[in-house]
Homo-oligomer: A and B are copies of this chain.
């Protein structure tokens, strides 16, 4: 295999991105709450030699659970379970910097990296939604700028902790009685605006040095965080032009932090609805739409818009003068609303647009159609790969692996087998050296910690 290679992740969004996914044939309605579902999907992705699976997260119920699954099981525990049931595929989980402590997150992801043999990624997010805030002592969401300030400091601490054991700190000299070379285990002595963390970490450096850091925010602050800390970005462009401009912007921003050589990788979100003919794919989309209760759709839309549900008439346009509440978490809704306005959508059409995706571009079509699109974006430099969001799981991924992947392989765009063992190997990312390993270093070593 030669030439630039495509990267493929799959977002295991419970039963699939469609609110009606759990009602489709081939889906266990209880799947969202059953770890075996996640394991099954990961195995299908591994059969398709995907780079990684990805788990989103939210620490609250922030949707209408009477009608659809939510993000539920805690992702790092799910990753550990998947790690035990797979061999090669990368495993990425989301953990919020807003409601966690950096020492705990550093430790959990380093431990995951150890138990999986170096297959872990951390999707670093900030949490905007007020439902989550109320589960952590706050009455509303934290201010956007402050959230990202905290996130940047959080990421810096986590990476410093991951570096705090040099790679060769462990000795294990049974005869001589020396367990670890304490001079190679370093306090980090971080004191910042949000955190004060002394260190060192209590977990040895993990197989990948750092678990791969991933980021997905599309705001200005989000792009800055990505440019500075991320090694892969989950981007959300709706058109090729937008994607090309995003790719250029990301590159420029990353260069400011001295980062070149294609880092961070740009993985574009891609929701898929696949059929053996275009008509079949469209029928599948119709079926998914039809299975979403109207009550769900109207409640959701009125919630997003912050207006009374009674004002929404299904076959009329949106009432004039409606503004989307200004909230960084609603980029997608804002885009959809703009689209609806410019196309003169009725409420019914708007609902379909909202329910038909997750904020990412959706392709409805045949395997050839999807493969062509992927190839076009990839070759144009609009993306280094894709973060797939199948309509329904496992079936939507299964059909992708069985029909789209073979086309991509025939075209020489995608691996036919894994060549390495770690997520860094799959993504072609270098293993970072510990910042403390550069001689001469001035970092204080851990000298005889006591009780």
Question: CB within 8 Å of B: which residues of A?
Answer: 20, 22-23, 29-30, 33-35, 58-74, 76-78, 80-81, 83-85, 99-101, 103-104, 107-108, 110-112, 114-115, 129, 131, 134-138, 170, 172-174, 177-182, 185, 195-200, 202-204, 291, 293, 299-300, 303-304, 329-330, 446, 448-451
Q: Are A451 and B63 in touch, CB under 8 angstroms?
A: yes
Q: Does the CB pair A23–B74 fall under 8 Å? A: no
Q: Which of B69, B80, B129, B197 contacts A135 (CB 8 A)?
A: B197
Q: Shortest CB–CB separation between residue A294 and chain B, in angstroms?
A: 10
B172 touches A30 (CB 8 A): yes
A200 CB to nearest B CB, Å: 6
- Whose C-beta in chain B lies nearest to the C-beta of A139? B196
| Extra A-B contacts (5), CB below 8 Å, given A77-B111, A99-B103 | A61-B200, A61-B202, A74-B108, A299-B448, A303-B450
Contacts of A99 in B (CB 8 A): 101, 103-104
Closest to A33 in B: B204
Taking A108-B74, A114-B35 as contacts, is the C-beta distance between A136 and B83 under 8 angstroms? no
Chain B residue numbers with a CB within 8 Å of A70 are 202
Check B112–A77 contact: CB distance below 8 A. yes
User: Are B103 and A135 in contact, with the CB atoms below 8 A?
Assistant: yes
Residue of A33, A59, A195, A451 with highest tally of chain B CB at under 10 A? A451
Given contacts A72-B203, A111-B74, A203-B72, contact A181 B30 (CB under 8 A): no
Given contacts A64-B449, A170-B30, A200-B61, contact A77 B115 (CB under 8 A): yes
Known pairs A59-B202, A134-B198, A185-B61; A180 contacts B66 (CB<8 A): yes
* A107 lies within 8 A of B59 (CB): yes
List B contacts of A100 (CB < 8 A): 101, 104
Distance of A177 Cα from B24 Cα, bound (Å): 11
A137 vs B291: C-alpha distance when bound (angstroms): 50
- Nearest chain B CB to A188 CB, angstrom units: 9
